[in-house]
Chain A
Amino acid sequence: MRNSLIILTIALVFLPLAAAGQPASDDVVSSCVISAGENTTYLKDFRVQLPKAAPDAAVPVYKANIYLMRNMKYRFSVCDTPGSGGELFITLYDQGKEIISSYNSSSGKKYSSVDFFCNKTGLYTIWYSFIDGKQGSGVGVVCMIR
């Protein structure tokens, strides 16, 4: 009986912690795609789960390479998993040069999505991270604007 209660206690203590660390589910992806708007076509999703930044260390980043094509309009949306500790944002780079970010650290303003009218076909790099390097879980969705 005592062992059972210990196991139950461990389970009840660790379950919420485990749930908070879960990656984005299909439901979060679906709702994020819907939030991108009606005039869009889904292309890709990135499920992001990052730990808290260590003291005096760089903020953890999830990086992905993506081909973007000239004459296409893209929408990058970010959504947080319910219970996520941090707020997800995206920064798009072209050969190391920042093109667009959904978070302005100077003003503190954050956008849930950003549009990019692409005029140069090539390989771009997406960085996903959480504001202030907090631990978090979320999803980034890339759509084509019709």
Chain B
Amino acid sequence: MTGTITKFAAVILLLSFCSCRNTNIRPGGPTFPVADSVPAAEAEKLSEEAVADIIQNIASPVEIASILQSMQVPFTAGYLAPVQGADRLTTNFRKAVMLGIYGSDLGYLNIYGKTGNSVDLLSVIKRLADGLRVGQYFDFETLKRLSASKSDTDSLLFLSVNSYNQIDRYLRDNDQGSISALMITGVWIEGQYLATQVALSHDDEILRDRIGEQKIILGDLLMLLRPYRGSSEEYGSLYGMMEQISTKYADVKVSYRLGEPDTKEENGRLVVVQHEESIVEMTDDQLSEIAGLSKEVRNKLISGN
């Protein structure tokens, strides 16, 4: 009896302590008052934390696809990265980049409701995630079931995007920022490829603006990759390619027009309409060059050459 009570109590204590350890507070999450002056070494550390905050929202696998859908651009399977050969990826570098690229493709498929086509892609994503030891965040069976049933696109979108968010969070919290950065870059380059390829054949102001605005985001993406560029030859090569895309953006102008926001209440919800605007100026030639180089970089990353 005594032994049973002891074991029971010990299990309860163990569970409670384990669950306490498993908090999701990120480093730098809760912020408390800090001193006005920060030593240089601390400043460097803070800077890294700021970058870590930036990266988690740098690229979304669904926003570009959503714009394309709202433009009523037809779905094109030809834009998807090939899944053949994904099993032969050996380095974590390539697995992480391809995980990002396929994540973006998954968002494209799901936004367009082409869920039946995504089962093969899901299998590849699962294998890559397992290879990076983050497969536990990918509820493959549920995703596969939702994809096959084509009945609940919202749940499918939530689960797939949430899986990527959880993987990213895990990598950053476990000192694998370099892998997270590669995955984010993969998501970004595939979204950029999709947007620019469509923009070449569909003249749409919103899409053009979105491509031009990547000038802002690309700067932060480079800042994110910079600490790892010397870690391997392929990392250095990736950084160099991203820098080249950034160079193509040098003459794209992004300016701002000031304005005060309007606030109103609608159906019990607070709604704010922003009137401050960002304005993009990008010529056809600039778009063409950015599109060409983005395609080249994306294809190099896929082929591994």
Contacts and interface: CB of A to CB of B under 8 A. Distances in A.
Contacts of A62: 29-31
Contacts of A23: 23-25
Contacts of A60: 30-32
Contacts of B1: 1
A119 B274 contact: yes
A33 B162 CA distance: 11
A49 B169 CA distance: 16
Interface in A95-146: 99-100, 102, 111, 113-123, 144, 146
A117 B274 contact: yes
A119 B275 contact: yes
A58 B32 contact: yes
A3 B254 CA distance: 70
A50 to B, nearest CB: 5
A67 B57 contact: yes
Interface string B85-112: 0000000000000000000000000010
A71 to B, nearest CB: 5
Contacts of B277: 70, 119-120
A126 to B, nearest CB: 10
Interface residues of A, number: 63
Contacts of B58: 67
- Give the interface size bracket for B toward A: 35 or more
A42 B19 contact: no
Contacts of B13: 7, 10-11, 14
A51 B30 contact: yes
Contacts of B157: 41-42
B127 to A, nearest CB: 23
Contacts of A7: 5-6, 9-10, 13
B53 interface: yes
Given A14-B13, A70-B209, A121 B30 contact: no
B36 to A, nearest CB: 14
A21 to B, nearest CB: 7
Interface in B33-56: 33, 50, 53-54, 56
A117 B53 contact: no
A99 B272 contact: yes
A110 B32 CA distance: 24
A42 B6 CA distance: 45
Interface string B56-71: 1110101100100010
Contact of A120 (B24, B50, B53, B256): B256
Given A66-B57, A120-B274, A15 B16 contact: yes
Given A114-B271, A119-B273, A119-B277, 10 more contacts: A7-B5, A7-B10, A22-B23, A42-B157, A44-B165, A65-B50, A100-B270, A119-B275, A119-B276, A144-B66
9 contacts: A23-B23, A33-B158, A47-B25, A49-B24, A69-B63, A70-B213, A70-B278, A114-B272, A123-B54
